[in-house]
């Protein structure tokens, strides 16, 4: 069995593309203690999360993942408020940004840490669309204030890379390196 070291409901759904034999035990780490470039955060955070859980369950396989959204070098975290979501969506409107996920898969025998990048091209968003989207509450718990899977809102023009990566777990890459 594998332990998914994540509270994310989206990661729980995505891991089912790879295995049905998993349980969820969220990691407990202080993410604010890392002061490294944004592009390095996902890999380092995934390692910290994986080891936090693996140290408690050393006979199991542990998978941890972290995802960031970066626009013009700026880390776009989870907005948590409508005002912050509005600000982020206006910044993303009509622009290209990168989504980087880092994952660590660890067992007694092996450890893999990888990062996957997907480039996301946003449509030009109207104020009306942004307000309707914020009213759903969906942006509040997502890095960059959006979920690419929210297809009823025409946010994304196209991507270069993994769709699942943008949701939060690069399943295609993970399948290639699964052990």
State the Cα–Cα distance between residues 24 and 169, nearest whole angstrom: 15
Residues 6 or more apart in contact with residue 106 via CB below 8 angstroms: 50, 51, 54, 61, 62, 112
Under 8 Å between Cβ of 66 and 45: yes
Rounded to the nearest angstrom, the gap between the alpha carbon of residue 51 and the centroid of all alpha carbons in its chain is 18
Helix residue ranges per DSSP H, 3-76: 9-15, 41-54
The values of phi and psi at residue 101, to 5°, are: -115, 135
Task: Give the other-Cβ count within 10 Å of 89's Cβ.
Answer: 25
Tell me the sheet residues that pair with 2: 22, 61
Say whether 66 is catalytic.
yes
Dihedral sign of CA atoms 109, 21, 148, 64 in order? negative
Q: Kindly name the residue from 21, 52, 60, 66 that is annotated as catalytic.
A: 66
Q: Which two tokens stand for residue 92?
A: 């993303």
Q: Provide the annotated active-site residues.
A: 66
């Amino acid at each position: 069995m594998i332990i998914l070291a994540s509270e994310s409901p989206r990661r729980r759904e995505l891991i089912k593309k790879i295995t049905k034999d998993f349980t969820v035990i969220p990691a407990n780490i202080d993410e604010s203690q890392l002061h490294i470039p944004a592009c390095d955060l996902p890999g380092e955070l995934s390692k910290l999360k994986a080891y936090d859980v693996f140290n408690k369950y050393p006979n199991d396989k542990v998978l941890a993942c972290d995802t960031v959204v970066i626009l013009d070098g700026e880390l776009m975290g989870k907005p948590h408020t409508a005002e912050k979501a509005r600000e982020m969506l206006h910044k993303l409107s009509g622009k290209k940004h990168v989504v980087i996920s880092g994952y660590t898969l660890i067992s007694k025998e092996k450890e893999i840490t990888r990062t996957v990048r997907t480039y996301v091209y946003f449509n030009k968003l109207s104020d009306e669309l942004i307000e309707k989207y914020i009213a759903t509450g969906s942006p509040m718990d997502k890095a960059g204030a959006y979920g690419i899977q929210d297809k009823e809102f025409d946010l994304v023009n196209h991507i270069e890379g993994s769709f699942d990566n943008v949701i939060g777990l690069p399943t295609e890459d993970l399948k290639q390196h699964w052990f």
